Amino acid sequence: MDEDGLEIVPLARLLSAYGGRDAARHRLIWAFDARLADIVRTTREPVIGQMRLTWWHEVLTDAAQAKGRGDPLVDAWRAAGMAAGKGCLAMIDGWEELIGPDAPDDTALRAFAERRGGGLFSALAGEPDDPSALLQNAGAVWALWDLSGHVTSGATADRAIMLARDYLPATKGLPWPGEWKAQKIALGLARRDILRDRAAPGSLTPGMYFHLVRIALFGR
């Protein structure tokens, strides 16, 4: 649990620190992503999982800000004046792609990557009106890499890494605004493993931490 009561993994906490003045907002978005991931991970009946994800959609779009009141994350989200942008709503749709009794096929994995990852990176960037293709593709790369370290199926992990390779070319040679530093670091971590056909670690490792600091200092 983070110092402000948010449940986010150590990697997300580190990346949030590179959000600059938006670090607190970044932590809220990562906590939101973690809550969606937990829904998918703990769902046994697809209909129930879809209902739980729909609840979050209703929370984010409730103009009266009544639904979900009392939930620590919801209360923190509203206290910070967070808006329900397209990126956050896309994240919900992306996670929904993984709910079901069968392993996700390539179509579902791509939809997950583009919605969860692209939505996440766009939300971290402040929900620009015209989402950048760089953010969308970088987010997709990161989401597939991250997924590869959290699935029990080796075949799904391998497919996720292979599909992530398809998005990598669209992230090369483009300028990264300074305020997107956290997303750039996340992409760099993912790229290293993907180019080696290696799934993501299940948790933060010393090697990953060293590489994160190196990207933050030198950009690679």
Looking at residue 200, the DSSP 8-state letter turns out to be P
* Cβ burial 125-147 (10 Å sphere, 16+ → b, else e): bebeeebbebbbbbbbbbbbbbb
**Residue from 191, 208, 220, 212 nearest 18 by CA:** 212
Kindly state the tokens that stand for 73: 């994350």
Helix, strand, or coil here: 116?
Answer: helix
Q: What type of residue sits at position 128?
A: P
What's the distance, Cα to Cα, between the start and end of the chain in Å? 29
Residue 86: how many CB atoms within 10 A of its CB? 15
Give the position of tokens 């989401």. 143
- Residue 108's Cβ-count burial label (10 Å; 0-12, 13-18, 19+) is middle
Question: What value, to the nearest 5°, has the Cα angle with vertex 22 and ends 202 and 79?
Answer: 100
Kindly state the tokens that stand for 11: 């990697």
Q: Is the dihedral of CA 88, 10, 99, 76 positive or negative?
A: negative
Which segments in the chain show pLDDT lower than 70? Answer: 1-5, 128-130
Q: What is the pTM of this model?
A: 0.93
